[in-house]
Amino acid sequence: MFRPEKYTLIVPTYNRPVLLNGLLGHLATKRASFPILVLDSSQSAHRDQNSRIISKYKLNTQHVLFDENIAFQSKISAQLAKVETPYVSLCADDDLVFPGAIEACVKELEAADDTVACHACLSP
């Protein structure tokens, strides 16, 4: 059985609230229960929109703010160091993830001691 406290999704975003809304709306529809960290280095107007978008969905989401000039890799490194779950993945704000596939990946990772990465595709 999938336990959401074992997995964290990191979503970097920069000035694309419409795309972030699409991803979070999709995850809300799928009833995602795992922690979601939105790493936001957007300009202030977009940052405010992102904040409103995050708060409208009933997800376990944390809005992590960064200076808009931070390098992408610095933003990711800063948050990876703070993730407390054994499993983590990145999803750009213009992509979608499927909770069923995440569950399958976590299950595979837990079953195979010598596996460090997993990618799964499930039919709808």
Question: What per-residue confidence (pLDDT) applies to 108?
Answer: 86
Tell me the pairing of strands 36-40 and 7-13: parallel
Q: Please count the structural domains in the chain.
A: 1
Strands 61-65 and 7-13, by their bridges, are unpaired
Q: Is residue 124 part of a domain?
A: no
Residue 17 resides in a domain: yes
Range of the structural domain that residue 66 is part of: 4-111
How confident is the chain (124 residues) per 10-residue block, as mean pLDDT? 84 97 97 96 97 97 96 94 92 91 88 81 52
Residue 122 lies in a domain: no
Q: Which residue, chain included where needed, has tokens 């694309």?
A: 16
Is position 121 within any domain?
A: no
> pTM, whole model, 2 decimals?
0.91
CATH number at residue 88: 3.90.550.10
Nearest in space to 106 (alpha carbons), one of 7, 9, 37: 7
103 domain residue, yes or no: yes
For the residues of 44-84, what is the DSSP string, one character each? HHHHHHHHHHHHHS-S-EEEEE--TT--HHHHHHHHHTT--
The CA distance from 49 to 77, in Å, is: 25
116 within a domain of the structure (yes/no): no
Q: Is residue 81 part of a domain?
A: yes
